[in-house]
Amino acid sequence: MIARVWKRILTLAAVMGLIVGSIGVGAKDARAEEPEKRVYKVGYVQDRKPVSFMTDTGELGGITRYILDRISELSGVEFEYVALPTGSVTYDYLLNEGFDLVTSVEYNEENKNARGILISDPYLSSQKVIVAREGVEFSYNAELKVAVSTGSQTLKKVLARIFPNFELVDYDSMEECLDAMNRGEADILLQNQYVAEYWLYRPAYENMKVIPITGLEDKLCFSAVVPLEQTEDSADWQEKKLLIDRIDEAISRLTEDETAMYIIEGTLANQYQLTTGDLLYRYRYAALALSAAFLAIIVLSCLLLRARIRSLEDRADARAKGRFLSTMSHEIRTPLNGLIGLNYLMGQNVDDRVKMENYLKQSTATAQYLMSLVNDILDMSRLQEATMELESSQVNLRLLASTAASIVRGGMGEKGIGFQIDMDLPYPGVIGDQVRIQQVLLNMLDNARKFTPVGGNVYFTARQELLDNETVRTSFTVRDTGGGMSEEFQKHIFDTFTREMETVSKGNQGTGLGMAISHSLAKLMGGDLTVRSRKGEGSEFTFSFPAPLAIPDEGGADWEQETDGPAAASPGASERLRVLVAEDNELNAEILLELLEDAGAAADLAVNGREAVERFARSAVGTYGLILMDLLMPEMDGFMAAKAIRSMKRPDAGSVKIFACTANSYQEDKDKAIESGMDDFITKPIDIGALMEKIRELG
């Protein structure tokens, strides 16, 4: 396309002097006429680059704008440009909104003879081309599905007449038409040559081909809107006829070379600009390699961290260093498990651009968190010297708290600790330091896990108080049913390297740094970290801080992360195995649903045991062939949910397969799962190969 453009530029070079001269004469003639006093409202199509589109400043851009500006100079008519809504635009809408003219109207016999509109002579002529997916063979008699923008109603009539075997499918925009072709919902589309060449530069459509067709020109004109009930003698009709006549006279004065110059300028100035998503798609394999590089960086960071600890041998106790390394190993290994799962999914979906972008975002965010964690440890000395500076960015507290809970949930389950969450965050979007807030929460939650015995409970709650129209105070509380602390130790818990000897003797290891760092960070945020505890009754830590409210529109942030699972399908909707997944951890649920879809199964999600029971009860008999049941869930755990399903009076209550899917790997947990009516037991981290084999065995 670029080669053709430059060839045209060289051809025009010899006549540029003549073009400039003709423009000057035209402008002089326009000034000699008495211009209309009113400004005419012109509606334009906003998604037809480079012919017609809305610029970043909300104005009309493209080849049509160049030509309209020149027509205004030649005719003395002034225009106001207003974007038309995407999709189908009705005659009544144009009339009610007071549009005088519409651009990019197809010049054909049907529009020339239509009632209620007057059309101008063509201002832009090109060819219509066929865009088809690779592998689709075009012929005039083939039965093909044709994607058509809902704004091209005249084109639909032409296609129906010329290609009677084609099935026409409506979409709101050119981009949606091409996406539908990528998904296999449509085979071809017909489009203006300039518009097609613009969109096919996008990497996502590199599998498309252009098929030239002869005898089907694409002539564009302007259309004036006139009320249907008015006759040619009415004042409004006469005014619109005069407007079209003046536009036609100006179009007749546009030379072929002048129009060609506008086409070249409009095409070169409005070439498709690659976006971040385009680059991710084009370099998706390189992105996978980048993820591997992130993992390598993390491993190297761990090695550097070990070297850093060794350099402190003369200034720290050897056992404190060992415990420090043990704690850091846990902090790093837990999110690494999520990265490994995401990398597996990326390997399974390398050709799915949407999924790849989502996986890359999640893996990048996790890798960045791990790098930030390493830097936090190295910056510990800055905290003690009060030289630490906090970052300010938009933070989704609801998602942040959910992520922190997900990271520690596995450790809670392995130890047999009940974990309950109660979040009331009506103002989740704030401005703050996301890494530091999450660091404090993880310290609080991990401490509760370490000092709560088997069979105990940890409660994670969040509340908010609006201080004024711009500030909210958020309080996170972690309460456990562990052994508690003595009053004397509570006075020193936020001191560096402080541990109560009784807890150490019971095997509850800790560096003695976590609470000191968390307390300092809370103070830096203008908040506080407090503790209440009694020997033998457990402890309660509360982290509260004020923060400015964030505006959701800034940066495209989405503070609402909670979504309902897909509705149960009616029987016979699919022959695939349908699986009910009962999982309250968002990331684990997402990975499970993806794995099941890749294995050819259909999956529905329940976020707790009670919802799993209700979904099964509402479903038709035989809907579900398998239930994957997490054991530790809010409202109703997996054991009770399995018993409730087995006790239902319906034919499939006893035959549906129920697999425990949990981080609890003790034999007593397996025995309890079987006793509650489950058929099998899958431990986390999930052996993906074993799970897929079990799914395949079920069909």
For 592-614, write each residue's pLDDT tens digit. Answer: 888 888 778 889 999 999 999 99
Q: Which helix (H) or strand (E) holds 289?
A: helix 284-310
Strand, coil or helix: 352:
coil
> What's the token pair of residue 566?
């897909």
| pLDDT reading at 378 higher than 80 | no
Q: What is the pLDDT of residue 177?
A: 86
User: Percent of the chain, pLDDT > 90?
Assistant: 23
Is it true that 2-123+220-269 and 126-218 share their CATH fold? yes
Asked if 282 and 353 count as a contact pair (C-beta separation under 8 A), the reply is no
Q: What is the pLDDT of residue 313?
A: 52
pLDDT in tens, 156-166: 677 777 777 88
Q: What is the pLDDT of residue 99?
A: 92
Q: Say how many C-beta atoms besides its own lie within 10 A of residue 118's C-beta.
A: 19
Say which residues have a Cβ less than 8 Å from residue 80's Cβ, sequence separation at least 6. 39, 40, 41, 42
Q: What is the mean pLDDT of the chain?
A: 77
We find that the CATH architecture of domain 126-218 is 3-Layer(aba) Sandwich (3.40)
Q: What is 2-123+220-269's CATH number, 3.10.129.10, 3.10.270.10, 3.40.190.10, 3.30.420.40?
A: 3.40.190.10
We find that the CATH architecture of domain 391-559 is 2-Layer Sandwich (3.30)
Burial class (CB in 10 A: 0-12, 13-18, 19+), 37: exposed
Mean per-residue pLDDT, 313-342 = 58
Mean per-residue pLDDT, 488-497 = 74
Give 232 or 26, the one with higher predicted confidence.
232
**CATH class belonging to 578-697:** alpha beta
| pLDDT reading at 688 higher than 70 | no
Say which residues have a Cβ less than 8 Å from residue 46's Cβ, sequence separation at least 6. 52, 53, 54, 83, 84, 86
Residue with tokens 């968190």, as numbered in its chain: 369
Mean per-residue pLDDT, 10-34 = 40
pLDDT in tens, 31-87: 434 444 689 999 998 878 888 888 888 889 888 999 999 999 999 999 999 998 876
pLDDT in tens, 228-284: 888 888 888 899 999 999 999 999 998 888 888 888 887 777 666 666 665 566 655
Q: Say how many C-beta atoms besides its own lie within 10 A of residue 145's C-beta.
A: 17
pLDDT in tens, 107-129: 888 888 888 889 999 998 887 78
Domain boundaries, the chain: 2-123+220-269, 126-218, 274-378, 391-559, 578-697
Give 148 or 88, the one with higher predicted confidence.
148
User: Percent of the chain, pLDDT > 70?
Assistant: 73
- Provide the whole-model pTM: 0.37
Q: What is the pLDDT of residue 119?
A: 92
Residues 650-669 as b or e (16 or more Cβ within 10 Å = b):
eebbeebbbbbbbbbeeeeb
| pLDDT reading at 682 higher than 90 | no
Longest alpha-carbon distance in the chain:
103
543 DSSP β-pair partners: 476, 529
> What's the token pair of residue 640?
């009770």
Which residue in 631, 686, 690 sits closest to 340, CA to CA? 686
Q: What is the pLDDT of residue 429?
A: 93
> Please, what is the Cα angle at 283 between 278 and 284, to 5 degrees?
95
| pLDDT reading at 499 higher than 70 | no
